[in-house]
């Protein structure tokens, strides 16, 4: 079985996995990094969102063999102590309900804000529309992204 060297959250990890294994399952099952969630497996829900070289990517669709030496960031790498302004905003607004989708939401939001630090409401709604929240915490996600933007500027 092939061996891969992955750069995740600034550290390097060696894993043995079938080449077609989605990065999602490598993270969850092989590396015990279970913050990245499984929701649909087909790129529709955003629960599995991570960053690849800083851009939001669906890890359920990315095969481990295609990662190469690109930098992977997962929810565990945003900050360990919830001190990142996005996490702070999430906390202030008290976004989560069941919480399951929230890692993916946070990863989409951080990638988005790094490209657009002063977004309008409708830009936020468009940017976050790839992430489903079945509990419909959408009003708060919108507010938290706005708040994070103001914290970061």
Partner 1 sequence: MKQIQSPSFSRRSFIKTSALAGGGMLISFNLFQACKPEAAPPVDISQLNFNDFNAFIKIADNGMVTIFSPNPEIGQGVKTSMPMLIAEELDVAWDNVHVVQGALDTKNFTRQVAGGSQSLRHGWEPLRQTGATARQMLINAAAARWGVDPSTCTTNNGIISNANGDKLGYGEVVKEAANLDVPENITLKNPKDFKIIGSDANNVDIDKIITGKPLFGLDYKEEGMVYAVVMRPPAFGNTLKDFDATEAKAIPGVHDVIRFGDKVAVLAKDTWTAMKGKKALKANWESDEALENTEGHDKILTDLLNGTEFNTMRADGDVKKAFAEADEVVERTYESPFLPHNCMEPMNFFADVTAEKVRLVGPIQTPAGTARRVAELLERDPEQVSVEMTRMGGGFGRRLYGDFALEVAEISKLAKKPVKLVYSREDDMGAGIYRPSIKYKISASIKDKKITGYHLKEASVNSNMYGLIPNFFPAGAIENYQVDVANYTSKITTGAWRAPYTNFLSFAEQSFFDELAEILEVDRIKLRLDLLQKVKGNTDERIQYSPERLEKVINVAVEKSGWGKTEEGVYQGFSAYYCHNTHVAEVADVVLENDVPVVKKVTCIVDCGIVVNPLGAKNQIEGGVIDGIGHAMYGDFSFKNGEPQDKNFNTYRLIRINETPVVETHFIESDIAPTGLGEPTLPPAGAAVANAIKAAKGIRLYKQPFIKHMKAKAPLG
Closest CB to partner 1 among 71 and 123?
Answer: 123
Using the rule CB under 8 A, is 51 a contact of partner 1?
no
Shorter beta-carbon distance to ligand FES: residue 77 or 131: 131
Identify which of residues 69 and 81 has a Cβ nearer to partner 1 in the complex. Answer: 81
Interactions with partner 1, residue window 62-121 (CB under 8 A) = 74-76, 78-82, 87, 90-91, 94, 96-103, 106
Q: Which two tokens stand for residue 32?
A: 């015990």
How far is it, in rounded angstroms, from Cα 43 to Cα 25?
14
Return the residues of window 46-85 that contact ligand FES according to CB under 6 A.
46-48, 58, 60
Give the Cα separation of 43 and 142 in Å (integer).
21
Q: Which stretch binds ligand FES (CB under 6 A): 7-15, 82-90, 111-119, 128-136?
A: 128-136
The whole-angstrom separation of Cα 23 and Cα 38 is 11
Helical spans, DSSP H, in 11-55: 23-25
d(CA 33, CA 135): 24
């Amino acid at each position: 079985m092939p061996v891969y060297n992955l750069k995740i959250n600034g550290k390097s990890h060696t894993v043995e996995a079938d080449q077609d294994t989605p990065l999602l399952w490598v993270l969850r099952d092989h590396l015990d990094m279970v913050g990245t969630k499984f929701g649909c497996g087909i790129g529709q829900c955003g629960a599995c969102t991570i960053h690849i070289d800083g851009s939001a990517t669906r890890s359920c669709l990315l095969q481990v063999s295609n990662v190469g030496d690109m930098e992977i960031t997962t929810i565990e790498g945003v900050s360990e102590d919830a001190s990142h302004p996005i996490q702070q905003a999430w906390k202030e607004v008290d976004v989560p309900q069941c919480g399951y989708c929230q890692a993916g939401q946070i990863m989409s939001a951080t990638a988005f804000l790094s490209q657009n630090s002063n977004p309008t409401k409708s830009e936020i709604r468009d940017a976050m529309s790839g992430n489903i929240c079945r509990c419909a915490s959408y009003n708060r996600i919108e507010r938290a992204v706005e708040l994070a933007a103001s914290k970061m500027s």
